Each structure stands twice: as C-alpha cells, then as structure tokens.
A and B are shown apart, each in its own frame.
Chain A
C-alpha cells in the first residue's frame, strides 16, 4: 500500500509539532514543509497556523505558495485548514486593515465584536474549550456523516484560540457553528474535499484525535479512488 504523504504547510509561525504528532497518531506520514513542489505533489495538504493574517499571507506569497494551494483545492486534493488556516482560505480579512486571502472559500474574516455573557465582557482572544454544533437548518441526514466530524456528539467541546472568526458568503459550506457569549459563528466548513476548523483538533484530547483519524480515512479513501462524498 502506498504511503500517503501529507504536507503540513509551514509559514514560519506556531507550533506545528503537535499537528504533526496528531497526523502520525492517525497513521499519516506528515512532513512540515514550505516547499511548493512538496505541497503540489502531496496526497493531502494541511494548512495550520497561529498569528496574524496579514503576516501569514505575505509569507505565503513570498514562498510562492498561493498558486499551489489554490491549484490543490481546484484539483480536489484533500485539504484541512486549522485555526488561522481556516481564515487564510477566505476571500479577505479586516485584521489590522484589509487583506486579501487565498480566496478558496468566498467570505470574510471579522474580529469578535464585544462578546458578553450577561453583564460580563468576555475576553478576546477566546482561549479555551467550546462546543461545536451542527449548522442550523441542516437537512434530515446527519451533515457530519462522511466528514472528519463523524461520530462527534452535538456540542462536543473543542479547544479554541482566536480573536477573529470567518463569515462565509454561502451558508451551505458551514459544517459546524459555535457560540461565544451572544455571538454565533462558523467553527467548521466543508466544500468537497476541503475541510476547515477554527478550533485545534490536535489539542482537543481524544475527541480531537478522532477528527484526525476520520480525516485520515477520508484521505486514504480519496487516494485509492473510493468515493469521499
């Protein structure tokens, strides 16, 4: 059986080792790379990241990674965006001025606007465990079936660290939503073989690892020609 190679895209910020360890735990061979050829030839691409949107996009441009990432998405290569990685997939962000994103998913990135619980202001960034819920208005069949969220309980807590959240133009890409104070936002997205999560599955304990294992099954199924969707 062919070894499946996952390219973890390294644009200089954040701890990618926990992402790599989680991939290994799920049986994937994952390399941390900023080489465009490695990204283009990988069976699957993982776009992680912490830090600022503008800096990350500048780095992706400097490393000449924008086109390979867009091409991989257009080809239907399995992709997984995590945290800042989700935000980079969008059209644009308002973080420290307007920035263009990868524009793989249509939508914007916005700062949490005054989250509060009762009369208590909530901190920004949000740091900690929060529940993920099926997007409202989902059809009768389970929208998490056949996705990395398969088998997760409604409201399962995952670990989040972020000040900004994504607002997709089309609601049909929303896979999960989460509430911070009075603000309900999109915490998981899906379009074809592309999945993206605002939380960190690799830091979300056993349930988080289950997401990596489920994603690894989708990657295997895709590269052996099986039906993914």
Chain B
C-alpha cells in the first residue's frame, strides 16, 4: 500500500503559519500558493487547519478553501473550529472533501456519529492531539493544545472509530514543530488498535523520521509541515512585500533555519522513500506546467 504524504497548512486569518509545540506562530506565506506548489510537486492530499478558530470561535477558512478547491484536484481536509453538522456542511460546500474534528468531538462525541451519518464515514477524520503523561500513557488535548481533557488518547481513538470516524490523525504536541521525529510509541499504539487508517503528525524533521513512523510506527500516512514549509519558503517566488509587518518571513527567506529540520522538498522526500523501498506515489517528473 502506498504511504500518503500530506502537507499540513496551519492557517491564521489569511496567512499560512507554523509554530513549535503549537505556540509562537510565524507567518510563512499565503496558503493557496503553498497548496498549489505542493499539489504540483506530488502531495497525496492536503490538510488545512485553522489555528485560531477553536480559540475565538470564528472560522475564516471558507474563502481560502474555495480558492484552493478551484485549483487543486486532490483530497482536501479542513479542520479547526468546526462545531456542528452545519459547520461541516459549509466547509464541504466550499470544496473540502473531509473534515477534521477534535475539540467539538471531545466536547460532544455524538457529533462524530451525526456527521458520519450525514456525510459518510470517509468524510470524517478525528484528530487526536496528545501529550505524554509521566506514566507513559497519552492524554488528549483540545483547543490547539491548550486544554487538557483527562481523556486517554488510545481509548478515545477506539471510541471515535466506533462512533463512525473513517480515519484517525495522531499528533504528538510534544514533538510538533521540533523536528525531533514522530512519537513512534503513540503512533503505533493507536495504529495497531484501530481498523481504519492512521495519519501520523507532529515532529518530522527528516526523511528518516518519515521512514521510521511508517516502519516502526505503523502509520498509513504522514502529515508534515515544518519539514516542507521552510524549504518551500526559500524556493517559492513569493511577494515578500505582501507580508510587511507580518512577522519574520525575511529572516526565514535569508536562510535562517532550524538545525533539527532537514532542508527537503516534497519530491526529495518521495524520492527518498522510493529508494528505501517504502511504496508511495512518485512525485511527477516535472513540477508545474501541464494542463
């Protein structure tokens, strides 16, 4: 089975952002430009996550989703601040193929059942964002990593699937944005416990890490952000003037980087996986152009 590589784009207002352990968000660029670039370089799916919607109860994603859906023809998952079947419907109507639920599903698990009945299980992805406890178990968090729930991540994964989740995404908050590698124990425990595909997220800093979470972590797909974004920031022809006053994109473009994050493009990553005998859909021979 081909492993899916899924760039994740965290969005704040009109911008693509990225933080470390869900904090200190930096502006990296415009989401639709990154989305188009990843689409053309062989992304298997894309995820858009509204980084602030859950906190302030607003949802500014719809316009970005519409614009993206006109340009890209691969599956698009959208999450962040979706609270009801009506919210989900509005995102799907804007062009999303799947939605990602966390905070609202933990607050009211029946939402998973209602949503999977209304739109089909394959449309409903439950995202579990977890922090390791001292005893080695994992606790699910909501509100972009700010709210502890007391809920065991593994039990929650099983329950979410029973309620109708078609896929589970597992993010290690401890690792997110650090480039230290995925949490293999967390990923594997959930991947082995549920019958549906599991997407690993949080921590990818190198192609090797992606290989590990597929091999040892039993992930069916990987979500990557920093690993690809920092490379993309330096290679995309962006209008830097557009971001005046919006943070430190200049320093990123001049080559400031995180020592723990490999400088890697999506096609480099896929080529590495293929060389290691990890099956994946190869990147197109030539990015861009075509019909």
Which residues of A does B touch, CB under 8 Å? 13-15, 17-18, 21-22, 25, 50-52, 117, 120, 122-130, 157, 159, 161, 180-181, 202-206, 208-210, 213
**Contact partner, A15, options B121, B123, B198, B291, Cβ 8 Å:** B123
B24-68, CB < 8 A from A = 39, 44
- The answer to the question of B237 belonging to the interface, with a C-beta cut-off of 8 Å to chain A, is no
- The answer to the question of B180 belonging to the interface, with a C-beta cut-off of 8 Å to chain A, is no
- Contact between A203 and B75 (Cβ–Cβ < 8 Å)? yes
User: What is the predominant secondary structure among interface residues of chain A facing chain B?
Assistant: mixed
* Interface size of B in residues (CB-CB distance below 8 Å): 35
**Contact partner, B97, options A13, A125, A203, A204, Cβ 8 Å:** A203
Contact partners of B96 in chain A: CB under 8 A: 15
B87-135, CB < 8 A from A = 92-93, 95-97, 118-123
A-B contact pairs, 29 of them (CB 8 A): A13-B118, A14-B119, A14-B120, A14-B123, A15-B92, A21-B69, A21-B73, A21-B95, A25-B73, A51-B119, A123-B196, A123-B198, A124-B196, A125-B121, A125-B166, A125-B197, A127-B4, A127-B122, A128-B3, A128-B44, A128-B221, A130-B1, A157-B281, A180-B1, A202-B73, A203-B73, A203-B74, A203-B75, A208-B73
Distance from B2 Cβ to chain A, minimum over Cβ atoms (Å): 5
With A18-B69, A125-B196, A128-B2 already in contact, the answer to whether A159 and B75 are too (CB < 8 A) is yes
Contact partners of A205 in chain B: CB under 8 A: 39, 73-74
- The answer to the question of B167 belonging to the interface, with a C-beta cut-off of 8 Å to chain A, is yes
Complex Cα gap A206–B74 (Å): 9
- Contact between A123 and B220 (Cβ–Cβ < 8 Å)? yes
- The answer to the question of B247 belonging to the interface, with a C-beta cut-off of 8 Å to chain A, is no
Distance from B244 Cβ to chain A, minimum over Cβ atoms (Å): 34
- Contact between A18 and B1 (Cβ–Cβ < 8 Å)? no
Contact partners of A180 in chain B: CB under 8 A: 1
Complex Cα gap A22–B75 (Å): 13
- The answer to the question of B290 belonging to the interface, with a C-beta cut-off of 8 Å to chain A, is yes
